[in-house]
Chains A and B, each alone.
Chain A
Amino acid sequence: MNSSADSLILGHFLLTSSVLFVLGLVGFLMRRNLIIMFLCTELMFQGVVLALVAFARFHHNDTGQTFVIFVLTIAAAEAALALALVMLLYRRKPTLDTSAWSQMKG
């Protein structure tokens, strides 16, 4: 399997990675549902991870893949805490709309 990847170009992977990242960013800014907002941050993680692994492959340095493990860890921890907080917020107001939490206005 290793020798079959020699025709691929780093740039293609970076293209996919950037598109995923940007889609995640746009989704984060566009959606009003709190949980889906966090899901879009996970989408951004996907893009980043893809870029990491592509570079790791390109530079023959496995640290990139190690870093992916760390990213996974952090993503998991962050997801747990974020969802816990969302649950608390939901208890406060029975809505997931981010517009509901705008008391820091002006």
Chain B
Amino acid sequence: MMPYGLYIASVLAALALYMTAPRRGYSPARLGMLLGAMTLGGLWIALAKHLPDLAGQWTPLVYYYLFSVIAIGSAVRVITHRRPVLSALWFVLVVLATAGLFVVLSATFVAFAMVIIYAGAIVVTYVFVIMLASPAAPDAVGDDSPTYDRAAREPAAAIAVGFLMLAVLLTVAFEPLVANPRAAGPSDQRVLSRDLTQRPPELTPEGPPEVGKQAASVDNIERVGLDLFRGHPLGLELAGVILTVSLIGAVVLVRRPIAPEAAESPRDTDVRDE
């Protein structure tokens, strides 16, 4: 039953997204958002049946729902908003929601790293560039978006492909639950239902301490740091090199003198462009 549910949910979600996609003329965006929300809610409700016994610990789940809604909703707005600047701002919201999800997963370091680096640096850079590369005054009264952002490019094909992939991914993601609900032994269900932070007996380090498998009481930052510097020093160095190279590269690239091509009005084609 579950797979069909997934597929139906995917189709509905695809339809919802299609409706919210930017287009000329009347746009059933709100309807689409409503449909999307309903689909997501329905899916969660269906999944709730399979939740193990929470034993009263349902706070993380609530937080999960909350942050997921924010993340997904903001993501939808990122991809369907007409004005590029606002797309970037919605993206900031996505980052924040994702950071929240990380916190729920007890990955505090990466949560804040994401906020600082992504929302703080990358998105800011994007916004700067958007501002710099804005075209001249738009030609439609009341519509501030650039002409080429007013309509999506072949939304049907893109959405179809995307949600095909979603169906596939979800099938893979939920497969253990569907296939084997009553497995004996350390099945996924059982593993999932126990305390995720509790170390299973077989993972207790008895021999030489494994990288990354420290005592439960060590801080998250410490653990990540130890794993990074002990397990992946080369990666660390390379990351540094890459950052340096990209910095220098960006500076060099932008300073090149580029002659503008013969003035050509941006093609103002309709939705079915291409």
Contact = CB atoms under 8 A, between A and B. Distances in A.
A66 to B, nearest CB: 5
Tell which of B109, B126, B213 has the most Cβ of chain A within 10 Å: B126
Q: Is the interface of B mostly helix, strand, loop or mixed?
A: helix
B117 interface: yes
B55 interface: yes
A68 B193 CA distance: 25
Interface string B203-235: 100000001110010001001101110011001
B41 interface: no
A93 B133 contact: no
B62 to A, nearest CB: 11
Contacts of A4: 57, 59-60
Interface string A8-48: 11111111101111111111011111011011101100100
Contacts of A99: 148, 153, 266-267, 269, 273-274
Interface residues of B, number: 123
Contacts of A9: 47, 50-52, 177, 192
Contacts of A26: 17, 79, 158-159, 161-163
Interface of A: 1-16, 18-27, 29-33, 35-36, 38-40, 42-43, 46, 49-50, 53-54, 56-58, 60-63, 65-66, 68-70, 72-81, 83-88, 90-97, 99-100
10 contacts: A4-B57, A7-B54, A9-B47, A11-B174, A14-B169, A14-B173, A30-B79, A36-B84, A39-B78, A96-B135
Given A14-B170, A29-B161, A39-B78, 4 more contacts: A6-B195, A53-B102, A60-B203, A69-B228
